Every structure is written in structure tokens, then in C-alpha cells.
Structure 1
Amino acid sequence: MAPTRTAIVVGGGIAGPVAALALRRAGIEATVHEAHDGTADGVGGALSIAPNGRAALDLVGLDRVGEPMNAIVLQNHRGRTVTEIRQPMQFTWRADLYRRLYDLAVGAGVRVHHGQRLVDVSESATGVRAVFADGSVSEEADVLVGADGIRSTVRRLIDPAAPEPRYSGLLGFGARVEGVGLPPTGDRMYMAFGRRAFFGYQSFADGSGVWFANLPHPYAGWDEVRKTPNEEWLHRLAGAFSGDAVPALELLRRTAPADLVSSGPMEDLPHVPQWHRGRMVLVGDSAHATSPSSGQGASLAAESAVELARALRDLPYRQAFAAYERARRARVERVIAEAHRTNSGKAAGPVGRLVRDALLPLFARMATPARTAWKFDHRIDWEARVLAA
């Protein structure tokens, strides 16, 4: 079987550019095809990059991004600190990370095509082509990489019976605030299990800050979230944190409705049975979407993109896809399951909240560096050869 020389990457968000950059480093020419007509500047909320994610991004040429977030101070609704968990993370905005990766990919010679929504794929003995909604067809390539997110079209083409995303019971909101009126928290992010919702914030030396909230709510799709005015969401959030001894109400009051960012329903994909078929393969959220509560979504996407590129560098595509999945599945599904348990605590009912609050100190004591090393200390050896099963 001939070596892989070219790739079509479907999806131009976070995973897509990382995959294209990693493939290019592996000697594989990749083109990115994005459904939206333009770039995603200014789109999306905040996210964190873990040490394992920073290491993977460094392999494709992206250096430090965002602000240091080296500890999480966990509090209850009374404002009492339960524990401080040391975690060397970077806090950034999705739009900033996207722009850095986009510029890096284009600067490296990656061609990015906008306004190309995938509807079908045609495969032959020699390659694969992507068919788009406007009737256009891509050039033939050796493989097609689906990096098109949690509602991936490529996933459905690989397996029409593929599972749909699982809703956590939470909606995500957040904002950047120029004048938070709070003392700087340094490199600490404060997070609180409120009586009715979950809240996190970090304030910086220049007087600005960020906050996010996870609001328990019956399922609401993106259309419903968007149709509800931001003023109404801010009002509902204020009601959810009324009576809690955390600065949520003050930060909500200082947030202009136009600045409110919604990440919509918080969802995951606990198990996608098929990651690849024929010349198609999945990467990032299309294969292993984890809830934002994991703090690992972008980091795992970067890891998988790098591992896929390494496998395609060293093996024919069929063997490469199998080796890539073998290297990734157990790790990502463990992170997804852990985040799901966290979400269950955030959306707990009255009795569940009592149990959760009683157990928080125990859970916090378990979050030691030794117990979390499997997640944060993971490193990929780019130079190591990938072997077939």
C-alpha cells in the first residue's frame, strides 16, 4: 500500500488546523475545508489548555497561549474554601486560540477553503474526494480527516448509526468583563458549587476579569438558546446565584448583555464505536467530545491530531488508523467519564447537593499530582516510530 501523501481535513475550528499542521510536519500535504463562509474570529467562549495540550501544540509550532491558571480554588455556596488544587493550566479564549492556529497554518502553506459544507464522500481504489453542498468536489487525496465537531458529518458518513451527543443537563455561559471591581486573583481561578448553579471567575491585575457559569436547565438546543435574549439569560443567572456568598451577582451586574457568551448545551460523546472506515477517520470532538468541565477538550484534540499524523507518517492508512485509535481511545474515554461525573455534581438536586458538599473535601484530597499525572503529564514522542498491531 502506498504511503499517505495528501489529506483532506474537514473542519476549520481548533482540531482542523492542528491536524493540518501535524500532517504537514509528517510530510503530508493537507487542505482544510470549512463549512462557514468566513473565519471564526470573535466566536466562542473561554477554555483552558492543560500541560498535556500545551506539549501537543508545541509539536505543531504553537508556543504559550493565554494567561496562567495554576490553581483552582474550590468553594461552596457560602464562599468557604474547600480546597486549592494545583493545576498548571493556561486560560484563553477560543477565538484567540483559533486565530493563532489559523495564522500558523496559513503561514505554513496550508490552504483553507471557506463556505464548503460537506454532504458526501466518494472513495476509489486510489483516493477520496469530498462533495460539498454547493456541488463542488475537492481534489482527490489519500485520506479524509473529519475534524468537524460534535455534530460531525464525517462521523455519520463513517457510521450512519453513530450516537448523538449526550446532554449533561447544563447550559454554559460566560463573559469577559473590563472592570470587575474585585482584587486580582493572580494565577488562581475560583470555582464555586452554588446552591442552584456552578460559577467560576478569575480577575487580573489590569482590572479586567472573566467568569463562567453552568446553569442546570432542561435541554435547550442552540436555536432556543439564541432566541432567548441575553438580558433574559443574565436575569435567570442572577436568580440562580441569589443568596450565594460568591461574587456572581456583582460580575453579572457588570456584564453588558452584548458581551454575554453562551457555549450552549454542555454535551459529550461517551463512546463512538467507529472512528474510521475506508479512507476516512475522525479526530477531536467528532470522535471524542468531552464536556467543557473536563478542561481538556482542546488539549485532547491536539493530542489526537498529533498521534494521527505520526501514525500516517509511519504506516499505510488502514494500519495507521487502527494504531491511532488504539493509542487514543482508552485515554479520551476516561477523561470524558470523569467530566461526566463532575457535571452530575453541578446539576445535583437538593439531596444530591447535600451529599456532594459533604464529599467535596474527600474528592479534593484525592486530586493530588500523583493521581492526576495520567492526565496532565501525558507527552507524545514525535520521533518514536509508530508500529502496527
Structure 2
Amino acid sequence: MSIDSSPHARTDTRKIAICGAGIGGLVLAIRLTELGFRPVVFEQREEADICREGVFFTLAPNGMNGLKVIGCYDAVRGSGVETTGIELCNARGARLGLADQTDHESVFGAPSITISRGGLAAILLGQAQAAGVELHFGTALAMLTSDANGTLLQFVNGEAYGADIVIGADGLRSTVRAQAFPSYPAPHFTGQIGTGGITQTSQSGTNGTMRMTFGRKAFFGYLVDDQRRAFWFSSYPADEPENGRVFDGKVFAERIRQMHAGDPEPNRAILATVASIDRIYPVFDMPELPAWSSGRVVLLGDAAHAVGPDAGQGASMAIEDALVLAAALEREVDHVAAFRRYEELRRPRVAEVVRLTARNGSQKRALGWWQMLVRDLLLRVFIPLGIRGQRKLFAYRPD
């Protein structure tokens, strides 16, 4: 592929295909373009669907610092809610612990920001388009074949693209991973399902604190901003992963309300304003993969290592992956050496996050009254340890 002259310090004529316009794929495309590459992004969803996708999440300081590298920090900070603390309570509403995050900006260089997933996607898409990234929507990958000369991507809509390098940034159920690594294990259901939303409420703002309750039947969290918008989520145990689409949103909303009927207020009051819930999100673990790359293909983000929601690091890990992979491709002329460097740098970091996520997630199981009593006593000891572990994660600077 020929490329136009640009103000970048270097240019690279290798044809790079990024499959997936999620957080990691878009950050990678923006950064590679800044470094003089010309990546092409293929996404099976339509552009409008990406900006409506998902509910919300909190970007930790390490993720926010990553966004500084690609010029999206100010827009994300301005569009989200600064999250200054996480309060953990038991089923009676008594505080078990508080993670004070008011010092995040002074200590780590950036605050934690809660933002809708669609809002972040819209900012990243706008930045990618402004940078001149070539984006193809509605292009679901059908087949991927490689030989010594390159890799051919064939799409369901009939499009085809020959690439020198292919990055699978297409999520937990990655088609790139299935095509390039057919022997790899499938994701494993953790036994937890999450859902949530953003709803208008009469409740007062929480001054940036996300309050979480270990309820009798399910785990609940909420943050209310100064516009009285409640960012809420629920996580509950299930024997089967269930379908991501909710057949009857009103019925399901009532089901969630019943799960939290024994919760302290204002949990019940917030859920009373939720008329319908359209999606649920089964939580999966990705077994540790033998390698993240093979030949001309490399995996990124959830396609390589699904990080559950319990450490609040999924989006930040995707941002970090993208920036490290871009740096490795800039540094190494040979893509195999670049992939090796990327994986060597990222594996220990991701393993640390996965361990913390697994520990946090294990505390959310539904328990009997005696088990809940014991858990509450133990959590008063272990919550401070978990807070210290998370703060170590925040100090990482992907730039």
C-alpha cells in the first residue's frame, strides 16, 4: 500500500489490519497512525451501534494516562464523572471499607473517571477519523488464511484484504483467535452475570463515591452524579451464562429488583426507576493461552486475556496493550520480534491483574447468614490489602 507523505518521523508501508473497533483496536489504530503506520480497521458492527454499546465502566489512572498519549484524555475527563472513592458495605448497609481515591491525580497523574462505554467509543472514533484512520464497518470476518507472503482476510460481506500483519482486537469471542489458533481453549463462564445502566433518580449525588453492597442475593453498586444520574450495576450468581440479549426487559428489570429487595436504601429506590433492562453480561475468564501470536497474527485485549470487571481494569488493560504493541512495532522491523517483545512486557502485568480480579470476584458469591458473617469479618481485614494491590496497578505509566 502506498502512503502519502506526512509529518511523522517515519513511515511504514506494511499493511496492518486491525480486526475490532473496540477500545483496544481504536487506541492501537490511532497510535500506529501517529507513528507513521497506515492501519486499516475492520469492525463487524455498524458505527452507530459502537456508540450505543454497553453500559459504563471506570477508567483507572493507568488507563487515563494511556489516553494522554493519543490526545483523548481531556475529552474523556470532560465527558465522565470523576470517581473519588469506592465504599464497600455489607447487606445491612454497614461500611466494610473505603478506598479513598481523592489523591489519584496528585499521586498517579490522573483521576479515575466513570464514563459510558458508548461515550468513550464515540471519542475514540472521532479521534481515529480525525487522524485519518481507514475504518470499515459492517465487515464480519469469515476466514483468515496465512502463508509465507502474507495473510488474507475474507469478510462475510464479500470484502477481502491482504495484510502483512493482523491484530485480533475483536474481544472475548475473537474470530481471529478461533481462525488463527483453532486449538486454543474457549472462554470459561465464571458463574457470575452482570447488568446495569444509567438512570435518572431523585437521590442526592454521592460526591464521586461509588457505593457497593454485598447483598443477600446479589452484589450492587451505584454512583450518583451532580445531575442526579445514577450509574448502577448488579452482579449475581447463575448456573448458566444465559443469553446476552434480554427477551423481556421489563420482566428482567423486575427480576433484578427482587434480587435486591433485601438491600438497604437507596439501592431499592434507584432500581425502582429502572423500567427495562435490555442486556446482561455473563462474566467469562480466558484460560491462560500458550502464546498471543503466531506468524503474522497477534492478539490484543480480551482476545488474548479476558480481564473480568472485579478489578476495574478491563478497559485500561486494552489501552495499555495497544500502546505497548504500537511501541514494539515501531521499535522492531521484524514483526515476530515485535510480537515477542509485546508479549514479554505484557504477560506479567496482565497476570497480576487477573489474580486481583479472581480474588475480588470470589467475594461476590451468594452465601448463607453464617457465611456472610464470616465474610464480613474477613473483608474488614482483606479490603485494605486489596486497596494497596490496586494502587500498585494505578502507578503503571504506558507512556
TM-score by length of 1: 0.91
Q: 1:215 is matched by which residue type in structure 2? A: Y
Instruction: State the shift of 1:126 in Å.
Output: 3.5
C-alpha contact 1:173 1:261 (8 A) present in aligned 2 = no
Q: 2:62 is matched by which residue type in structure 1? A: N
Give 1:58's aligned residue: 68
Give 2:312's aligned residue: 295
Give 1:338's aligned residue: 356
Give 2:120's aligned residue: 97
Between 147-156 and 202-211, the greater mean CA deviation after superposition: 202-211
Other structure's SS at 1:105 match: helix
1-side partners of 2:250 and 2:135: how far apart? Answer: 37
Give 2:108's aligned residue: none
Matched, 1:255 2:274: yes
Instruction: State the shift of 1:227 in Å.
Output: 4.4
Give 1:153's aligned residue: 175
2-side partners of 1:188 and 1:272: how far apart? Answer: 36
Give 1:387's aligned residue: none
- Decide which of 169, 191, 200 is 2:191's aligned counterpart: 169
C-alpha contact 1:5 1:27 (8 A) present in aligned 2 = no
Instruction: State the shift of 1:323 in Å.
Output: 0.6
Other structure's SS at 2:83 match: strand
2-side partners of 1:111 and 1:345: how far apart? Answer: 44
Which deviations, in whole Å up to 9, do the C-alpha atoms of 1:107-151 show, x marking residues without a partner?
A: 10001101211122232433322111233211x332010000000
Give 1:49's aligned residue: 59
Other structure's SS at 1:173 match: strand
Matched, 1:267 2:284: yes
Give 1:279's aligned residue: 296
Other structure's SS at 1:288 match: coil
1-side partners of 2:193 and 2:21: how far apart? Answer: 24
1-side partners of 2:264 and 2:295: how far apart? Answer: 55
Structure 1: tracts of 5 or more residues without a match:
382-389
2-side partners of 1:228 and 1:341: how far apart? Answer: 32
Give 1:69's aligned residue: 83
Give 1:307's aligned residue: 324
Q: 1:229 is matched by which residue type in structure 2? A: D
Other structure's SS at 2:66 match: helix
- Decide which of 30, 40, 50 is 1:31's aligned counterpart: 40
Give 1:384's aligned residue: none
C-alpha contact 1:345 1:352 (8 A) present in aligned 2 = no
- Decide which of 9, 17, 30 is 1:8's aligned counterpart: 17
Which deviations, in whole Å up to 9, do the C-alpha atoms of 1:310-346 show, x marking residues without a partner?
A: 0010111000001100100121122122212222211
- Decide which of 250, 257, 260 is 1:231's aligned counterpart: 250
1-side partners of 2:314 and 2:139: how far apart? Answer: 25
- Name the Cα RMSD after superposition: 1.9
Higher RCO (C-alpha under 8 Å, 6+ residues apart): 1
2-side partners of 1:48 and 1:145: how far apart? Answer: 25
Structure 2: tracts of 5 or more residues without a match:
1-10, 105-111
1-side partners of 2:174 and 2:262: how far apart? Answer: 41
Instruction: State the shift of 1:348 in Å.
Output: 3.8
Give 2:227's aligned residue: 206
> Matched residues, percent identical?
35
Between 115-124 and 100-109, the greater mean CA deviation after superposition: 115-124
- Decide which of 235, 243, 251 is 2:262's aligned counterpart: 243
Instruction: State the shift of 1:3 in Å.
Output: 6.8
1-side partners of 2:337 and 2:13: how far apart? Answer: 11
Q: 2:331 is matched by which residue type in structure 1? A: D
Q: 2:185 is matched by which residue type in structure 1? A: P
Which deviations, in whole Å up to 9, do the C-alpha atoms of 1:205-238 show, x marking residues without a partner?
A: 222222111021221332xx42431222222212
2-side partners of 1:23 and 1:332: how far apart? Answer: 22
